[in-house]
Amino acid sequence: MSAAVARAGRLEGKVVLITGAAGGLGQAMAHLFAAEGATLVLTDLGQDRLDALKAALSSSGYDRVLVMEQDVTDEALWEEVIDKTVAGFGRLDVLVNNAGIGYMADLEETSLAEWKRVHAINSEGPFLGTRKAIKVMKLTGGGSIVNISSIAGLIGAVNLAAYCSSKGAVRLFTKAAALHCARRGYNIRVNSVHPSFTETPMVRDMITSARNPDKMEAALATAAPMGRMGRPEEVAYAVLYLASDESSFVTGTELAVDGGNTAA
């Protein structure tokens, strides 16, 4: 039996909500989780991007998917998205708080408005989603919440002060939420994943907007001891582990997918 066949069904029977699903990491997760048997609820900004993702999934024979536009900073929309998920599928088993933005700027030139915007999306979004997910998951026996942070939430980086701060907040919020759920016996696990620079549209935009794109790309590729940037599917597989029952005794942890970047 092949390894691919042996792994099939790791999310069979689970209802999974992924925010930021139309981005590079989100699409990788959507395709992988569909192959592993999940029922998917995919949200993002831009209905056309979501429709394209749904069509791509359908072309591979997958149709257990609901797509909805969502601004993760909108508290009322979080209520609507999760309530519709439960109404449509009876439960929510996995939430992946993946939506996020990058922001590169000199600290002294970072405006308060940009600082607040980065934090609203990157750290307040996961808070709103986690809080609502806990309320419904605890009624159906538990679940798994995976918050996508970054290695910038573990170590500092020049010209990424707002981003580092927001992703660092995700890291410690995840631990606090994990303890909250564990102490109350909810059977809800909460973990964070910390990718390094990965081949996604967000990172590609950061490269092309740099003063010297070739130099920037080379720097990102050599930042990790493994000598390259990550691939979206490599992050998706890490999230799959935390979403599945294979990680049933894992909560409050931080999983770096960084080619050894934080090992030193």
* Whether the Cβ atoms of residue 190 and residue 178 lie closer than 8 Å to each other: yes
Of the residues 163, 186, 237, 241, only one is catalytic, namely 163
Half-sphere exposure of 118 (CA within 13 A, CB side): 22
Half-sphere exposure of 20 (CA within 13 A, CB side): 26
CA-closest candidate to residue 200, choices 128, 113, 101, 106: 101
* Whether the Cβ atoms of residue 20 and residue 227 lie closer than 8 Å to each other: no
**Paired tokens of 110:** 């970072």
Contacts of 172 (CB under 8 A, 6+ apart): none
Q: What is the phi-psi region of residue 32: left when phi exceeds 0, alpha when psi lies from -120 to 50, beta otherwise?
A: alpha
Q: Is 237 a catalytic residue?
A: no
Question: Which residues are catalytically annotated?
Answer: 163
